[in-house]
Structure 1
Amino acid sequence: MIARTCPRCHTHLELEESSLVFCFHCGAPQVLLSQELRDVAEQQQAPADGADGAATPATQQLDPTVIQWQPMLKLVAGVSACFGLFSFLLPLSLFAPAIAMSLYTSRFRQARVTAGLGARIGLLCGIIVSAVTGTIGAISSLILRVRSHGDSAFDDAFRTQIQQFRDQLTAQHTPDVAGTTAFLNIPEFRAGMMLCGAALMIAIFLGVISAAGALAGYTRSRAPGRAAL
């Protein structure tokens, strides 16, 4: 006989081994495990506890083919900033995605490079180059206007474009040319035209550099050494 207590009402019971009975006080079923089953459960629980203790972040292995974005973004930012800081390198900024991916794969040789990855890297490079170039241009224009009260080269180019537009209207015998082109003298309209022109140029630049990055990624993915990975 095995003496035990009911888990529900805590009444003292005397049960035969391997028997299933009900508590005579509350009716709760009384289930007993054999010693063999207890030994098996303890053996299964011990490796599970050891595995939980061993599975620490330090022992986890990262897939070498997956792109690690933290070092990749650092390389992209560094390469793009160099092209953006020096205006004479701006035409060569289309090679920024290829340079960034080359530097990354020289460190992580098993990284999987694709055309989609190249397009994303190209877009990031284009955004950073545009931001750096635009910031430098805005600061330099502001300094010129504060010191000399005008950016003569930019203002002369803008006035030339307006005069060409007026000449075209005059050649087409448009009545009241002065009234038709009066909105061109509004500062807010000129600022809006400059912003729209800059946004159009940036959009075109982002599209071109993204395509260049996709081409660079596709070329690297089709390389013989990469195809085997």
Structure 2
Amino acid sequence: MSEDQKRQLNQQLWNIANTLRGKMDADEFRDYILGFIFYKYLSEKMELYANGILKEDKIKYLAIPEDTKQGQEYLEAIKEESLEKLGYFLKPSELFGQVAKRGNGNGKHGNAFIIEDIQRILINIQNSTMGTASEEDFDHLFEDMDLNSTKLGKTAEQRNEVIAKVLAHLDKIDFQLEQSEIDVLGDAYEYLIAQFASGAGKKAGEFYTPQQASKILARIVTLGKT
């Protein structure tokens, strides 16, 4: 990842932190951000994989009509392959970008109430893994994300507005999954831990080593061995 790309990533993460700042402790909003980042990552990986499967049919995953017989047949076939390859499954309407658009006025009826949608989708992600080799990996994956917490807002409408803003900021980040050498997810995680490690406790903060220090230690350890 170039320095310019990293700055853009960090700026969006900082914008999200500003949206949540004052509503909860740093380690709490870090957990929300990381949860949404992982949801976005799973969505983009799902879409990329599904588009690869559909390439010969010359259609995109988002173009599949979920309410038709043909669309459902496509989804069943993709689900089977996705569970085998990725270990989970998301329908087109459940992808992060689609939910972000609905929450920020890009749907047919203006800003939609998306909290219940997100809760259902996160449960669906976990449920899709049941009986598969990845079930244990996804167990309790999003349990730290209480979308009904009054810390996000006193009313459901206020909470929905905050969450929609967070999704809008994250939606501007391109995870560039097509480029295997770029690890946006890792860079985002490292940035958040670096910024909010003081309150992280055993979840991550006390084990965090800044990248610069890690590089120096690696050079010392390998000195004279290459």
Specify if TM > 0.5.
no
Larger Rg: 1
More contact order relative to length (CA 8 Å, sep ≥ 6): 2
TM-score scaled by length of structure 2: 0.22
TM-score scaled by length of structure 1: 0.22
